[in-house]
Amino acid sequence: MATVLSLSGSPSATSRTARLLRHLDARLTAQGHHVVPLDVRTLPAAALLGADFSHPAIVRAKALVEQADGLVVGTPVYKAAYSGLLKSLLDLLPQYALAGKTVLPLATGGTTAHVLAIDYALRPVLSSMGAAHIVQGWFTLDKDITVEPDGGVSVAAGAAEALEQVVDQFSAALGHTTVLATAS
Ligand X SMILES: Cc1cc2nc3c(=O)[nH]c(=O)nc-3n(C[C@H](O)[C@H](O)[C@H](O)COP(=O)(O)O)c2cc1C
Note the residues at the interface with ligand X (CB under 6 A). 10, 12, 15-18, 76-80, 108-111, 114, 142
Q: Which is nearer to ligand X, 101 or 114 (CB)?
A: 114
Q: Which is nearer to ligand X, 92 or 117 (CB)?
A: 117
Q: Which residue is nearest to ligand X (CB)?
A: 109
Min CB(13)–ligand X separation in Å: 9
Contact 75, 10 (CB under 8 A): yes
Q: Which is nearer to ligand X, 101 or 138 (CB)?
A: 138
Main-chain dihedrals φ then ψ at residue 166, nearest 5 degrees: -70, -35
Min CB(76)–ligand X separation in Å: 3
Min CB(9)–ligand X separation in Å: 8
Min CB(106)–ligand X separation in Å: 11
Query: Which residues, at least 6 apart from 175, have a Cβ–Cβ distance to it below 8 Å?
Result: 2
Q: Which is nearer to ligand X, 40 or 126 (CB)?
A: 40
